[in-house]
Amino acid sequence: MAHLGGALAGLLVGIFALDNRRVRRWEPWVQWASVTLFACLVLFAVVWNIFADAWTEGGFYPPVDRWSQDNCSATYYAPPPPPPPPSPTEQE
């Protein structure tokens, strides 16, 4: 999905930013429409990422794994480590 979004963003910005040697009468309208659509999509993406959890009753994003964050774990969904084996003095 991210590649599709990047391709669409590149197309919309490219239509606006790239030069055309022979500009037809309708092309400036298409350029401004493409940059306006791009701005609207970026605004929607920012607003969605801020409010998505509230709009979907708290089930859009997975819960945060605080254990991994507190212990600087490289994996996001890492389970806590197993307890250490008992020492020989504790077994007696």
pLDDT in tens, 35-89: 999 999 999 999 988 888 888 877 777 777 666 556 565 555 666 778 888 877 7
Domain tally for the chain? 1
- pLDDT (average), residues 12-36: 92
* Residue 13: pLDDT over 80: yes
The pLDDT value recorded for residue 31 is: 94
Asked, for residue 29, whether it belongs to a domain, the answer is yes
The pLDDT value recorded for residue 32 is: 95
The pLDDT value recorded for residue 69 is: 58
Phi, psi of 14 (to 5 degrees): -65, -40
Asked, for residue 40, whether it belongs to a domain, the answer is yes
Asked, for residue 85, whether it belongs to a domain, the answer is no
The pLDDT value recorded for residue 35 is: 95
Asked, for residue 19, whether it belongs to a domain, the answer is yes
Q: Is 67 helix (H, G, I), strand (E, B) or coil?
A: helix
Instruction: Cite the DSSP H helix spans in 18-87.
Output: 27-55, 66-70
* Residue 90: pLDDT over 80: no
Phi, psi of 18 (to 5 degrees): -80, 145
- What is the pTM for the complete model shown? 0.63
Q: Band the pLDDT of 26: cuts 50, 70, 90.
A: very high
Asked, for residue 92, whether it belongs to a domain, the answer is no
Domain, as residue range, for 11:
2-79
Q: Supply 42's token pair.
A: 């970026």
Torsion angle, CA of 33/28/19/7, rounded to 10 degrees? 20
Q: Supply 39's token pair.
A: 């701005």
